[in-house]
Amino acid sequence: MPRASRPFLGGWHLALPLIALGVYRDLWAPDEPRYAQIAREAWETGSLLVLHLCGDLYPDKPPLVYWLTALAGELGGWTGFAVRVPSVLATLGSAWIAQRIARRFFGEVVAAWTPTFYLGSAMVLWFGGRLQLDPLLSFFCLAAVDLVWTDGGEARARNRRLLLAGLCAGLGALCKGPVAWLHIGFALLALRLVPGAVRTPARWSAAAWVGFVALAILPVATWATAASLREPALWKPLFLGQHLGRATSLDAPHRGPPWEHLWQMPALFLPWTALFLSGLAAAWRAWRAARAHSDREPAPQDRGLVRALTWFALVLLVFSAMPPKRELYLLPIYPAAAWFAAVAFERALASGRLAEWAGYATTLLVLVLGLGAGVLPHVVWELKPFATAALPIAFAFVIAAGAGLAFLRRGDLARWADSLALGLTAVGIAAAIWVIPAVDPTKSARILAHEVAALPQKPAEIPCFGVQPEGYRFYAHVPTVRGAAGDLDVGLERSGAQFLALITDRGWDQLSDASRSRFRILHRRQVGSRDVLVIGRAP
């Protein structure tokens, strides 16, 4: 590949924002403090099979991410970055595997640009380094896709790859449950649903299929059975409620309309959305051509596009039909979006011309983001405290857009993409250094946790009402627990003068006058979008 067509540092400089955000950002609710506390309790109590959150049973998710987080946390002193290390490594591993698959199906140029478009998407920049289940799930799913999409080779090697894919599916399910089987199953199904000219004949033995299914099921099934035998209350949630029940329930959390992912994913692939849509259109044209000319051998790159489009469409349609909607659910198919963008970009490099709507629209978007970061905090009252901190972000965006526009006008498309990608790296680092410290005091429970720990009252339990207790326990080891109706009076009788509780300002206002007269407000601090009150016994 000509040096002029290569991305700067292969696009891997976009790993720096993941690391910087992981170092400077506190654990933000709702997920990060919860997952960190589950991991810490599992490590400190030795209860690795039956997970707990602030002393209560935690039946929601399998344990692999918590085990890895506990190990990283213990080795790294339980800092915010230490517990995020598994996510950062998994995200970088996904970019590497996506590049491997791209090299096999799309060629060296597409492979070279895949990390830029994957790591440089808004979704991966923001979530790729956070303490979540999905980065590790995506890594195992993509590793399985890499194995089952490797064509050719001797029968023994093909069967061995299928068994390894089953193990990856099993580890993915041990991260987040049966959703891993959906992503990998759709990748396998894509091999059969593509047009006949692209379809690959059966390549695996029946014994290999049996081994694949067994390895996909056994890790999570073994854990769920062992945990349920130790704690019988886990049988129902682990074997029904936390996967099939949530996927079909109309009362499931994160509900959304069927079209939510259709606008959300393009928005989260910014700033490369125009390239992604252009590549998606090319994949659709390749799919139609393969269907219309089933007797004609398609071009190697078109074969990859058809396969990737089929997998991408299956996942998107099925997850759009499910009632629960969350942006992270589609993280495993973001590599396919990166392939589409890289294919469109490679064709632009080959022709020497990028569609004006794609090139100028992307550059204009980066410029608008820069101007918005520089102007909006000065005119919007709620953002004024962050106006100065946002200026480095504004400068990085504007400089990137200016450089990109200059290269675009010269027809140097590779340096155009490099300018925007380097701008994203600078924006991420600037956000970590300047913006995150300004936002953390209201997004994180850390400061209030230490303020509660410093109070003279030392109750055995601190009930929380409308407040998530895990962040306070993680940061300062205060004995916060989830409160229920009536726990205020019970806690007061039990703790006496040592009584403490956390309650939202709305929850406090909803108490009767008689109830409020028994307590006094000791401290108040904004955490997230609400004020949290620390209350004690009235004198």
Other Cβ atoms closer than 10 A to 366:
25
269 close to 122: Cβ distance less than 8 angstroms: yes
Reported residue count of the chain is 539
Give kind and range of the element (H or E) at residue 6.
none
Distance CA(22)–CA(76), nearest Å, equals 13
Residues of the chain with pLDDT under 50: none
| Cβ-based neighbour number of residue 424 at 10 Å | 26
Domain coordinates in residue numbering, the chain = 3-351, 356-443, 446-537
- CA–CA separation, 300 vs 537, rounded Å? 73
Q: What distance in Å separates the CA atoms of residue 285 and residue 153, rounded to the nearest whole number?
A: 30
pLDDT of residue 370: 92
How far is the first Cα of the chain from the last one, in angstroms, to the nearest whole number?
A: 77
pLDDT at 351: 79
Q: Are strands 519-527 and 530-537 parallel, antiparallel or unpaired?
A: antiparallel
Per the CB < 8 A criterion, the answer to whether 504 and 531 are in contact is yes
* DSSP 8-state code for residue 539: -
Coil, helix or strand at residue 534: strand
Q: What fold characterizes domain 446-537?
A: D-Maltodextrin-Binding Protein; domain 2 (3.40.190)
**CA 394 distance to own-chain centroid:** 25
> Are residues 80 and 23 in contact, defined by beta-carbon separation less than 8 angstroms?
yes
Task: Using only the alpha carbons of the chain, give its radius of gyration.
Answer: 25
Please tell me whether residue 205 adopts helix, strand or coil conformation.
coil
Helix 15-24, helix 413-430: angle, nearest 10: 10
Q: What is the pLDDT of residue 488?
A: 85
Strands 500-504 and 480-482, how do they pair? unpaired
Calculate helix-pair angle for 356-379, 413-430, nearest 10 degrees: 20
Among the listed residues 426, 417, 361, 418, the one whose alpha carbon sits nearest the alpha carbon of residue 397: 426
- Tell me, what's the pLDDT at 521? 93
The label of the residue with tokens 């109590």 reads 45
Residue 4: per-residue pLDDT: 64
Strands 52-53 and 500-504: unpaired
| HEC secondary structure over 272-326 | CHHHHHHHHHHHHHHHHHHHHCCCCCCCHHHHHHHHHHHHHHHHHHHHHHCCECC
